[in-house]
């Protein structure tokens, strides 16, 4: 085996180990699991696929964290043809709680837009909530987007994130943007439609505590067996 092959194999094993340690047990659809890049501003990290990345593992919240979706169900903006308000179910996680965080980033190259992608991601620990970036203040000041406000709390410390209009998932552009949180709080399915911008949302889960068997199953591409429970809410 060549040195390059060894390096590539090592990088893939490292990525699958990180994913397993963060509780990811399944991906489906047009998406990739990738390392967090240094730059996620507009058109700096493009792909025809949705890009999922592990941002933080077992991080303790330094302050309260606001969420846009905390209840199982399907959320949609209706798209350009049938725009509708998204029935958000906001909630808050208290400071001191340990969580894992993940980002979905979809930024196809400008010449390939408009574009639509679908996919899903499954965890073996409960999903505590989703941050979509949509907030009334966002239309006045992109820096007040919930995604932007959550960057220093659960984002990757070394990544440059975008703070432009369009950094969200529900934008009522083109086909409907759809996010579904499963009834068991373990899977997020989505449809992302972009035209001239990019889509993002952030998933917050309970901290995963993998066993060696889980790591091996993930490396082999087999589904692991995870803990099923729902977070109690006030």
Q: Which whole number is the average pLDDT over 77-89?
A: 90
Please report whether residue 6 resides in a domain.
no
Q: pLDDT tens digits, residue range 61-70? A: 999 999 999 9
pLDDT at residue number 21:
53
Range scoring the smallest mean pLDDT among 101-105, 125-129, 158-162: 158-162
> Is 61 within 8 Å of 206 (Cβ atoms)?
no
Please report whether residue 1 resides in a domain.
no
Please report whether residue 9 resides in a domain.
no
Please report whether residue 2 resides in a domain.
no
pLDDT at residue number 220:
44
pLDDT at residue number 211:
53
pLDDT at residue number 10:
40
User: Is the pLDDT at 45 greater than 70, yes or no?
Assistant: yes
Element spanning 47, H or E? none
173 confidence band (pLDDT: 50, 70, 90): confident
Q: pLDDT tens digits, residue range 4-27? A: 433 334 444 445 555 555 789 999
pLDDT at residue number 37:
95
Look up the domain containing 181 and give its range: 27-209
pLDDT at residue number 234:
39
Which residues are CB-neighbours of 123 under 8 A, at least 6 positions away?
23, 24, 25, 186, 187, 205, 208, 226
Q: pTM of the entire structure?
A: 0.81
Please report whether residue 215 resides in a domain.
no
Element spanning 142, H or E? none
User: Is the pLDDT at 60 greater than 90, yes or no?
Assistant: yes
Q: Which residues pair with 60 in a beta bridge?
A: 98
Q: pLDDT tens digits, residue range 194-228? A: 988 899 999 999 997 655 544 444 444 444 333 33
* Number of domains into which the chain is organized: 1
> Is 33 within 8 Å of 24 (Cβ atoms)?
yes
């Amino acid at each position: 085996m060549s040195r390059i092959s060894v390096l590539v194999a090592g990088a893939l094993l490292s990525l699958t180990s990180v994913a397993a340690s963060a509780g990811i047990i399944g991906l489906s659809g047009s998406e990739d699991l990738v390392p967090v890049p240094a730059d996620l501003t507009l058109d700096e990290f493009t792909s025809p696929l949705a890009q999922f990345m592990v941002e933080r593992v077992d991080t303790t919240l330094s302050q309260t964290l606001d969420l846009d979706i905390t209840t199982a169900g399907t959320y949609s903006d209706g798209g350009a043809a049938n725009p509708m308000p998204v029935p958000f179910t906001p909630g808050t996680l208290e400071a001191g709680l340990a969580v894992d965080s993940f980002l979905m980033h979809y930024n196809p190259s400008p010449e390939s837009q408009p574009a639509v992608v679908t996919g899903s991601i499954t965890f073996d620990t409960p999903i505590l909530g989703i941050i979509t970036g949509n907030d009334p203040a966002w239309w006045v000041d992109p820096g007040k987007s919930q995604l932007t406000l959550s960057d220093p709390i659960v984002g990757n410390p070394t990544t440059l994130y975008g703070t432009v209009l369009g950094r969200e998932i529900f934008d009522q552009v083109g086909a409907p943007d759809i996010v579904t949180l499963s009834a068991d709080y373990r899977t997020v399915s989505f449809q992302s439609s972009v035209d001239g911008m990019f889509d993002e949302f952030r998933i917050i889960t309970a901290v995963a505590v993998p066993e060696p068997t889980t790591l091996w199953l993930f490396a082999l591409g087999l589904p692991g067996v995870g803990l099923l429970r729902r977070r109690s809410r006030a």
